[in-house]
Amino acid sequence: MQLVVALDMPSSAQNTALAEKLAIYDNIWLKVGFRTYIRDGRYFIDTLKQINPNFKIFLDLKLYDIPNTMADAAQEIATLGIDMFNIHASAGEVAMRAVMERLSQFEQRPLVFAVTALTSFDNNSFQNIYGSSIDEKATEFAKMSYKNGLDGVVCSAYESLSIKEATSDDFMTLSPGIRPFAEASNDQQRVADLKFACAQKVDFPVVGRPIYKDEKPDEKVKMILDEIERVCKVL
Ligand code: C5P
SS (H, E, C) 68-136: HHHHHHHHHHCCCCCCEEEEEHHHCHHHHHHHHHHHCCCCCCCEEEEECCCCCCCHHHHHHHHCCCHHH
DSSP annotation of 192 reads B
Please answer whether residues 51 and 103 qualify as being in contact, where contact means their C-beta atoms are separated by less than 8 angstroms: no
Tell me what pLDDT residue 234 has.
65
Q: What are the residue numbers of the active site?
A: 62
Q: Select from 7, 8, 122, 137 the residue to mutate for testing ligand 1; criterion: most ligand atoms less than 8 Å from CB.
A: 8
Tell me what pLDDT residue 235 has.
60
pTM (global) more than 0.85? yes
Measure CA of the first residue to CA of the last residue in the chain; give whole Å.
Answer: 13
Q: How far is the CA of 146 from the centre of ligand 1 (A)?
A: 22
Residue in 222, 114, 202 with CA at minimum distance from that of residue 157 = 202
Tell me what pLDDT residue 67 has.
98
Residue 206 Cβ contacting ligand 1 at under 6 Å? yes
Residue 208 Cβ contacting ligand 1 at under 6 Å? yes
Domains parsed from the chain with CATH numbers: 4-234 (3.20.20.70)
Tell me what pLDDT residue 227 has.
96
In the beta sheet, which residues pair with residue 207?
A: 5
Q: What residue owns the CA closest to ligand 1's atom 18?
A: 118
Please answer whether residues 50 and 75 qualify as being in contact, where contact means their C-beta atoms are separated by less than 8 angstroms: no
Tens-binned pLDDT, residue by residue, of the chain (235 aa): 999 999 999 999 999 999 999 999 999 999 999 999 999 999 999 999 999 999 999 999 999 999 999 999 999 999 999 999 999 999 999 999 999 999 999 999 999 999 998 877 888 999 999 999 988 999 999 999 999 999 999 999 999 999 999 999 999 999 999 999 988 888 777 789 999 999 999 999 999 999 999 999 999 999 999 999 999 976 6
In the beta sheet, which residues pair with residue 152?
A: 113, 172
